[in-house]
Amino acid sequence: MAMPGLAFATLILAAATSMASAALVTFIFGDSLTEVGNNNYLQYSLARSNFPYYGIDYVGGQPTGRFTNGRTIGDIISEKLGISSPPPYLSLSQNNDDAVLKGVNFASGGAGILNDTGLYFIQRLSFDDQIDNFEKAKETMKKKIGEVAANRLCNEALFFIGIGSNDYVNNFLQPFLADSQQYTADEFRELLISTLYKQLSRLYLLGARKMVLHGLGPLGCIPSQRVKSKTGECLKRVNQWILEFNSSVQKLIASLHQRLPNAQLIFADTYPAVLDLIDNPRKYGFKVSNTSCCNVDTNIGGLCLPNSKLCSNRSEYVFWDAFHPSDKANAVLAEELFSSLFSGAPSIAPTPSN
């Protein structure tokens, strides 16, 4: 993977350093770790965070639909690239918005690779739905700048894709759902990978070339999973499944490189960074990593509700609610991701600031 990765980093660098002439366009796909407000537009969705205390540390201190107290990793990466964080797709006025030419966020809380993931949230945009929306956005681009320019824009844009956590947390790990009874862990992983293969190939056909795929973090260590262990420990079996999923994604990327000419996919391996943050919180200036700042009720979901009690210092906690990192943790993770993508470019990868 080293060669395409390096070439790719050089390309991002070129794009980032020539920003004065043309801004880097990013398209973001994913779940609640990357959503910036699409679900606010889904009337019946239960996967929402547009209420206090979400956003308490975001600009203006108001909830936006981000599932954290402050910024997502995508917001912070955008800041570092000197571009504004792309707006939610559903906030754009359809057919008549130049915003599609500048980058769009398609992510939706509760979404997964599979359509039936997160079904108890009633409404969310699955990865297939998000690609459908990208296809519509592409049609809008073509109307605005013509087919050749729209294709070129997509070929040069950066696609950030972070999806799969909910296929475990809100599907396979829920004993009352069909998938956990129907499949073994190996079969389920194979289903995810073969589905992802079709989805990434479809994005490629729609013009995507430079894609950053986020691996999954150690989901066995998030507060909503820890409470299932008698001692509050990480669930080893869950972490093992995630590691196997990550390996399979790495193999999938290698096979896509064989089959899709000029595709440049990078696996952004977030697992070790998140695990280190959880195992050694003090190393990064945190005090608590085994429970969330917001005192959530994991029996009724684990989101931070308006009547929840908050910790006294939000900067001391790795987790904001039972699923999502705090703004401060996202800053640490974004820093590591950014410097791994830009490893050859110390000049534009600022040193960690806490």
Ligand X SMILES: *[C@@H]1O[C@H](CO)[C@@H](O)[C@H](O)[C@H]1NC(C)=O
Residues that bind ligand X in the complex, under the rule CB under 6 A: 114-115, 128, 195, 215, 232, 243-244, 246-247, 269, 271-272, 285, 290-291, 313, 315-316
How far apart CA 313 and CA 278 sit, in angstroms, is: 17
Q: How far apart are the first and last CA of the chain?
A: 31
Between 24 and 47, CB nearer to ligand X: 47
Rounded Cα distance, 26 and 260, in Å: 20
User: Residue 36 or residue 267: which is nearer to ligand X going by CB?
Assistant: 267
Q: How far is the CB of 324 from ligand X (least distance, A)?
A: 17
Tell me, what amino acid is at 330?
N
Q: Which amino acid is at 62?
A: Q
In one-letter notation, the amino acid at residue 282 is: R
Instruction: Give the rounded distance of the alpha carbon of 64 from its chain centre.
Output: 16
Query: Can 132 be counted among the known catalytic residues?
Result: no
* Residue among 237, 247, 261 at smallest CA distance from 193: 247
How far apart are CB 133 and ligand X at their closest, in Å? 13
Closer to ligand X by Cβ: residue 109 or 215? 215
C-alpha–C-alpha distance, residues 335 and 69, integer Å: 18
Per annotation, catalytic residue among 49, 292, 324, 327: 324
Nearer to ligand X, 98 or 244 (CB): 244
Say how many C-beta atoms besides its own lie within 10 A of residue 53's C-beta: 21
Nearer to ligand X (CB atom), residue 243 or residue 310:
243
**Is position 214 annotated as part of the catalytic site?**
no
User: Which of the residues 31, 321, 326, 327 is marked catalytic?
Assistant: 321
Beta strands in the chain (DSSP E): 26-30, 104-105, 158-162, 210-214, 264-268, 288-292, 317-319
Is the peptide bond preceding residue 44 cis, with omega within 30 degrees of 0? no
324 as an active site residue: the answer is: yes
31, 32, 85, 327: which one is catalytic?
32
Catalytic residue list: 32, 321, 324
